[in-house]
Each structure stands twice: as C-alpha cells, then as structure tokens.
C-alpha cells in the first residue's frame, strides 16, 4: 500500500545540515496496524509526514498504491491526501473558530460534497467516536479526550484507506489513551491501514508491527 | 464551502476586536471617500434632472479659432445666428436647443436687492431638457415670435421674490434690470453644477439684451443637440461637422485672422473635460490619468496597510492552513478562501461606508452648499461602489494569500 525506498531527508539552514532520515526502506501492507517508536528527534514524525505526503523526501521514492508520487503536483497530492489519508495529531489541530461538526466536515469540503450529505457523514463519524451529543460545541468546550475523538472523526469522515496518527495518545491520560487506542483498533478491524507514532510501549504492543528508529535510521 | 469561509472570517474578526476596528475603520473611511466622490462625479456627469437625456445629447460649447501656426487662438461661445445656421439646421437630430450660459442680474423686492442668474433660451430648450413645471407652462414659438416679455422662474426665485406663499404667481409681474416681465411658468430649479440648465430666470431669446441678432460667428450662445437615440450620436456629430466644414477658411473675426476653426459637438463629459483643459490634444489621457492616480492613491495606500494586517493575521492562522492542506485543500482553493474572506471583510466595511455615504450626501444635499444638489446612491453609483469594494478586497487579499500558499504543511502544523 505504502512503499518507501531509500528515503533520505535532510533539513538545511544557511550553516547547518541535519540528516533527519537515512536510507529508510519500508513497505506497509493494506490493513496493517503499524507503530513507529524511537527517542525524540529520531525522525518519527518526519517519516509519518513523508508517508502522508505532507513533506517530501530529499532522496528516495514514495509509492502509494503502486504510484510514484514524487512527480505529482500540488493539486494531485491534495486529492490523494483528501481521498486516501486521514490524519490524527498529538495536539489535535482542531480549528477553534469552527464547531465540532464543522471541524469534522473539513475533508469533505474539498470533495465538493453538498452541505446536507456533508453534515450527515460528519454526524455519522461523530457517532462512531461517541460524540454525537457534542456536535454544536466548540473545541474549547471539550476535554482533551473529546478533542482527540473529534480529530479521529475528522480523520475517518472521508473513509480513507490509511490513517496516520502522530502520538494520538501523547496528550491524554492513560484511561483516555486506552479509549482512543480502542477506537483505532476498531477502525483497523474494519479495514483501515493505520500507522501510529508513539512513545508508549504498551500502545505499540497492541499493533501488528513495530518499527524503531534511531537517529534517522531504521533499527527494527 | 462559502458559508464555512464566511463563518471563519466572522470568527477571525471577533477574535481581535481592536484589529478589526482598525481594519474596518480604514476600509470604511476609504470607501466612504470613494463613494462620495463617485456620487459627486455621477451628480456632475450623469443624466439627472433636468438633463435626463444627457445620454443622447451632444453639447456645443465653444468655437476655437487659431492662426495657421496654432500659436494664437481665440475661443468662446457662439452667436445665435451661427448656431441657427449650423446647428439648428441639422436633419439627423431630433431637436436642437440654443441658449446662453448664465448671466448675472439684479432684481429688487422693495429695497432688498436679489442677485440672480438669467438665461436666454429658445422654445426647444423645454423639450430638450426635462424641467418639472410646478406652475404654468414654458414659453413657446408663438411667445418668441411675438417677442412677449415673459419669463419662467425657479421655485427658489419665486420664494425670494414673491415670499413663501403658496398661491400661484402665474401672470404676476417681475421687474429685472428695470424691465417688466410676466411670469409664465415656475420650475423646480437645476443645480449650479449643471451650467447648461442652471438659472433663476429663463427668458425667450427675443427678450431685451439677448443680443440674438448679433452678426458674426462669436457671441454668448451654446447649443445642445438631442439625438433620436444614443446610437445616433455619431451620425449627428458627423452631420454637424460637415456643416462646420462648409465655413470658408481663412477668415477674420474682430481683427483676428484665423486659418483653423474648430467647433465640436461632444457628449457632456468629453465636452466638460475638453473645455476644462482648453481643447489640448491628449487631454482625456491626462485627465483620466490623474483621476486614476488619485483613485489608486486613495485605494492603494489603505490597501497596502490592509495587506500588512492581513499578512500578520494569516500567519497567525498557519496551523489552520496546515490542517486544511493536510486534509486535501489545494493551494488555489486556500488562496480563494483567504481572498473571499478578505472580500467579505471589505464588503462589511463597504456596508458601513454605504451608510456613512448616505448620511454625508444627505448633509451635502441639505446644506445648501450646492443649490438643488441631488447627490444620490443610484444603481450606477452602487455598482461602482461594489466594484470598488471588490477591487479593494482583491488588492489587499491576493498578496497575503500568496504568502500563505508558500507555507509548507509540516512547518505550518508545527506553529
């Protein structure tokens, strides 16, 4: 499903070059639940960003469903992200000025879906994460766990095949973290391919495969 | 999608009330100035009472005589005879009126002196223009043929001369410059900004002191040529020019030897600008260049200020941009979002400006600074104002949107 070959990522400033990822080769299969672990600054989020087409590698190739994406233009990349990938972030990244349901609708806005079906899908997604009673609320009125559930609803509303989660439980207590993990496992059981960056060994143990990074290199 | 953009724009406005106040204050003030200016220009050049047929009228305002080297010239209005021969005889025009510009006179009510403006016209003047008769009727060809000493006065002059009473003054006597006239009609006056129709008292051209029999080409008269329809203007213009071309050259006018003679029939705006700039070549370019420069300055400087405010605001929303891009928003869609948001804010400012403009033009109309001033926000002014809002919104929205489009998703999400 996702194939990374010889991926290298270098961050350059005027005087410093930092090698964030070095010769990464990875193949994520459809329906897998993969966790990525490693110390802070080892390149986990960078790797996730490259897989999610949010960033481009300095070297190497990224293939999604057998298609090389390096030649794709902004519009094509945006369409791929919109249709195939859902994102969950550690700090939720909800838009505070929009209500819960409006936040969840965002991916559908870029599919030219009409207002009514958009709302129906958003409500269904919120129901799935147990937040159908909070649709008119604003992010500031929600707890951390509720925010993350809204973020999950937003990630799944467009029914993407891949969900990329960057430390989805990082800002939550263990009980709430477990709840989020349960939701992710349910989604995986329903067929979604999930790649999750985590610091938590217990969470990683609940996934099918663990990838470890150290100083930008894959060690497991 | 549009509702979503507007919702966001509204929330962003509420987020920083002070910034919002500064932004809206700047936009409203700029647009108010532009709207009042547009309304004033429309008042000057649009088809308004009593010149409601300006869109199919040509104005003949002056004759220009020059020597062969174009080094000296002599210009001014024409004689009644000249205009009768060369303008009144037009076959393609629906009607042609010959009248003077305003002349100053005095009238007395007891010992009180009233300064007034007078105008000599033919009977067609009342057909070419669209004066509203509050009392009586206009003088006709018969009155003119009989050299009747009749006048049409304005309601304002009626008030000054006869007092505030409501009774009719038709048939009453008016003494101007020691000559007695009978009032035949009372009209609602025309603003001073419309010199072809502005006057307090209108005399038939056969009234005393009109000099309508003066020989020669120059005098105190001008003409308005009314075409049957707007598309006929060119035909009328061509016919008039063919008449002018018949005048033998060179000639002598009051000792001045001229080899070139120009008499133009032009739409009101061109005529006005041409007269203002004394008929030099390229005047229109210069005039419109200056107007464009002033408009650009009026809109450009506040737009630059708004660009700065918008850039800071957009950068504050980097995270939102990152999220939208991550979930599939193409750069172009996002650019449109920010431009639409900006246009929305501009239109809010435009709404405030519209209210302010209405108040200001009411104040101008009621102040008496311009007699019979009728500044309005009509469809033209409103459409131009909308266009100005749109241009202003685009001017101040495109650059911030471009800055935003360059943000990398991963970087934006980190902020």
- Please, what are the domains in chain A? 31-56+72-218 (3.40.50.300)
Give pLDDT, residue B156.
Answer: 93
Average pLDDT, stretch B168-180? 94
Between CA B106 and CA B177 the distance in angstroms is 6
| B179: pLDDT strictly greater than 90 | yes
**Total number of residues shown for chain A:** 220
Cα-Cα end-to-end distance for chain B: 25
Q: DSSP 3-state assignment of A199?
A: coil
- Radius of gyration of chain B from its Cα atoms, rounded to whole angstroms: 29
Q: Which residues of A touch B409 (CB under 8 A)?
A: 49, 54-55
Contact check, Cβ <8 Å, A98/B11: yes
Q: Which residues of A touch B3 (CB under 8 A)?
A: 115
* Tens digit of each residue's pLDDT (9 = 90 or more) over B36-57: 888 888 899 999 999 999 999 9
Q: What is the 3-state secondary structure (H, E, C) of chain B?
A: CHHHHHHHHHHHHHHCHHHHHHHHHHHHHHHHHHHHHHHHHHHHHCCCCCCCCHHHEEEECCEEEECCCCCCEEEECECHHHHHHHCCCCCCEEEEEEEECCEEEEEEECCEEEEEEEEEECCCHHHHCCCCEEEECCCCHHHHHCCCCEEEEEHHHHHHHHCCCCCCCCCCEEEECCEEEEEEEEECCCCCCCCCCCCCEEEECCCCCCCCCCCCCECCEEEEEEECCHHHHHHHHHHHHHHHCCCCCCEEECCEEECEEEECCECHHHHHHHHHCCCCCCHHHHHHHHHHHHHHHHHHHHHHHHHHHHHHHHHHCHHHHHHHHHCCCCHHHHHHHHHHHHHHHHHHHHHHHHHHHHHHHHHHHHHCCCCCCCCCCCHHHHHHHHHHHHHHHHHHHHHHHHHHHCCCHHHHHHC
Q: How many CB pairs under 8 A join A and B?
A: 73
Contact check, Cβ <8 Å, B320/A110: no
* CB-closest option in A54, A89, A109 to B1: A109
Q: What is the 3-state secondary structure (H, E, C) of A129-195?
A: CCCHHHCCCCHHHCCHHHHHHHHHHHHHCCCCCEEEEECCCCCCCHHHHHHHHHHHHHHHHCCCEEE
Q: What is the 3-state secondary structure (H, E, C) of B299-339?
A: HHHHHHHHHHHHHHHHHHCHHHHHHHHHCCCCHHHHHHHHH
* Tens digit of each residue's pLDDT (9 = 90 or more) over B325-373: 999 988 888 888 888 888 888 888 889 988 999 999 999 999 888 878 8
Tokens of B56: 């199919």
* Tens digit of each residue's pLDDT (9 = 90 or more) over B149-172: 999 999 999 999 999 888 999 999
Give pLDDT, residue B399.
Answer: 79
Between CA B158 and CA B223 the distance in angstroms is 27
Burial of B165 from C-beta contacts in 10 A (0-12 / 13-18 / 19+): exposed
Q: Which residues of B touch A46 (CB under 8 A)?
A: 410
What is the pTM assigned to this prediction?
Answer: 0.69
Q: What is the dihedral of CA B158, B100, B50, B37, to 10 degrees?
A: -110
Q: Which residues of B touch A95 (CB under 8 A)?
A: 8, 320, 323
Answer whether A49 touches B (CB < 8 Å).
yes
* Tens digit of each residue's pLDDT (9 = 90 or more) over B368-409: 888 788 888 877 777 877 787 778 777 777 877 787 777 888
Residue in the structure block whose two tokens are 């129906």: A120
Residue in the structure block whose two tokens are 């800055």: B403
Pick the closest to residue B409 from B334, B332, B324, B336 (CA basis).
B324
Lowest-confidence region among B31-45, B75-89, B147-161, B288-302: B288-302
Pick the closest to residue A86 from A191, A4, A182, A218 (CA basis).
A191
Tokens of A110: 């870029």
Residue B282: pLDDT band (50, 70, 90) is: low
- Radius of gyration of chain A from its Cα atoms, rounded to whole angstroms: 17
Q: DSSP 3-state assignment of A66?
A: coil
Tokens of B275: 């007269």
Q: Which tops the pLDDT comparison, B14 or B187?
A: B187
Pick the closest to residue A8 from A45, A61, A51, A81 (CA basis).
A61
Min Cα–Cα distance to chain B from A81, Å = 5
Between CA B111 and CA B233 the distance in angstroms is 50
Tokens of B279: 């008929």
Average pLDDT, stretch B140-146? 94
Q: Which residues of A touch B4 (CB under 8 A)?
A: 98, 102, 105, 109
pLDDT, averaged across chain B: 88
Residue B275: pLDDT band (50, 70, 90) is: low
* Cis peptide leading into residue B250 (ω within 30°): yes
Burial of A132 from C-beta contacts in 10 A (0-12 / 13-18 / 19+): middle
Q: What is the dihedral of CA A122, A123, A128, A131, to 10 degrees?
A: 110
Backbone angles phi, psi at A127, to 5 degrees: -65, -40
Best of A78, A105, A115 to substitute, by most chain B Cβ atoms within 10 angstroms, is A78
Average pLDDT, stretch B180-205? 95
Give pLDDT, residue B284.
Answer: 67
Residue B277: pLDDT band (50, 70, 90) is: low
| B301: pLDDT strictly greater than 80 | no
* CB-closest option in A55, A74, A82 to B327: A82
Burial of A10 from C-beta contacts in 10 A (0-12 / 13-18 / 19+): middle
Q: Which residues of B touch A93 (CB under 8 A)?
A: 319, 322-323, 413
Between CA B299 and CA B388 the distance in angstroms is 9
What ipTM did this prediction achieve? 0.92
10-residue mean pLDDT profile of chain A (220 residues): values are 92 86 93 93 92 93 90 90 93 90 91 81 91 91 92 92 92 86 91 93 92 86
Searching chain B, which residue's CA lies closest to the CA of residue A47?
A: B410
Most confident of A68-77, B12-21, B180-189: B180-189
**What is the distance, to the nearest Å, from the Cα of residue A194 to the centroid of all Cα atoms in its chain?**
8
Residue B297: pLDDT band (50, 70, 90) is: confident
Burial of A25 from C-beta contacts in 10 A (0-12 / 13-18 / 19+): exposed
CB atoms within 10 A of CB A152: 26
């Amino acid at each position: 499903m996702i194939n990374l070959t010889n991926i290298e990522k270098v961050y350059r400033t005027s005087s410093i070059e930092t090698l964030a990822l070095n010769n990464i080769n990875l193949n994520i299969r459809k329906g897998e639940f993969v966790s990525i672990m490693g110390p802070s600054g080892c390149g986990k989020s960078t790797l996730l960003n490259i897989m999610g087409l949010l960033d481009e590698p300095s070297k190497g190739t990224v293939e999604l469903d057998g298609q090389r994406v390096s030649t794709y233009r902004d519009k094509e990349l945006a369409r791929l992200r919109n249709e195939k990938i859902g994102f969950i972030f550690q700090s939720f990244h909800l838009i505070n000025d929009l209500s819960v349901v409006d936040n969840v609708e965002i991916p559908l806005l870029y599919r030219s879906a009409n207002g009514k079906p958009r709302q129906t899908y958003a409500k269904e997604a919120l129901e799935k994460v147990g937040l159908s009673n909070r649709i008119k609320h604003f992010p500031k009125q929600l707890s951390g766990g509720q925010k993350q559930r809204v973020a999950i609803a937003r990630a799944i509303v467009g029914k993407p095949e891949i969900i990329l989660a960057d430390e989805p439980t990082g800002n939550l207590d263990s009980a709430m973290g477990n709840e989020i993990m349960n939701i992710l496992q349910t989604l995986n059981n329903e067929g979604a391919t999930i790649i999750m960056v985590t610091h938590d060994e217990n969470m990683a143990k609940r996934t099918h495969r663990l990838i470890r990074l150290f100083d930008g290199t894959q060690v497991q | 999608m549009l509702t979503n953009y507007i919702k966001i724009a509204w929330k962003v406005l509420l987020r920083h009330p002070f910034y919002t106040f500064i932004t809206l204050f700047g936009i409203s003030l700029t647009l108010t100035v532009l709207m009042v200016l547009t309304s004033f220009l429309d008042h000057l050049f649009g088809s308004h009472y009593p010149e409601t047929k300006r869109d199919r009228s040509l104005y003949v305002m002056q004759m220009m005589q020059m020597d062969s080297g174009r080094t000296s010239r002599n210009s001014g209005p024409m004689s009644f005879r000249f205009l009768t021969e060369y303008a009144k005889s037009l076959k393609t025009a629906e009607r042609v009126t010959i009248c003077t510009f305003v002349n100053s006179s005095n009238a007395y009510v007891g010992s009180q002196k009233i300064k007034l403006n007078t105008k000599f016209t033919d009977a067609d003047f009342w057909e070419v223009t669209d004066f509203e008769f509050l009392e009586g009727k206009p003088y006709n060809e018969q009155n003119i043929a009989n050299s009747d000493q009749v006048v049409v006065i304005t309601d304002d002059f009626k008030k000054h001369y006869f007092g505030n009473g409501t009774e009719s003054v038709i048939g009453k006597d008016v003494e101007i410059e020691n000559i007695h006239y009978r009032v035949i009609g009372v009209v609602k006056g025309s603003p001073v900004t419309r010199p072809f129709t502005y006057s307090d008292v209108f005399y038939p051209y056969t009234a005393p002191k009109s000099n309508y029999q003066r020989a020669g080409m120059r005098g105190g008269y001008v003409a308005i040529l009314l075409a049957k329809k707007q598309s006929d203007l060119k035909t009328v213009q061509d016919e008039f020019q063919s008449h002018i071309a018949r005048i033998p050259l060179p000639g002598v006018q009051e000792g001045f030897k001229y080899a070139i003679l120009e008499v133009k029939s032009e739409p009101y705006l061109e005529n006005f600008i041409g007269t203002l700039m004394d008929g030099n070549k390229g005047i229109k370019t210069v005039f419109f260049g200056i107007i464009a420069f002033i408009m650009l300055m009026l809109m450009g400087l506040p737009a630059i200020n708004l660009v700065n405010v918008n850039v800071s605001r957009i950068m504050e929303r980097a995270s939102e941009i990152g999220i939208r891009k991550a979930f599939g928003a193409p750069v172009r869609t996002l650019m449109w979002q920010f431009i639409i948001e900006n246009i929305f804010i501009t239109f809010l400012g435009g709404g405030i400006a519209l209210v302010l403009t209405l108040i200001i033009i009411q104040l101008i109309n009621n102040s008496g600074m311009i007699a019979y001033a009728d500044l309005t926000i009509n469809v033209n002014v409103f459409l131009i104002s909308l266009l100005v809002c749109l241009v202003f919104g685009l001017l101040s929205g495109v650059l911030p949107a471009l800055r935003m489009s360059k943000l990398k998703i991963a970087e934006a999400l980190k902020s």
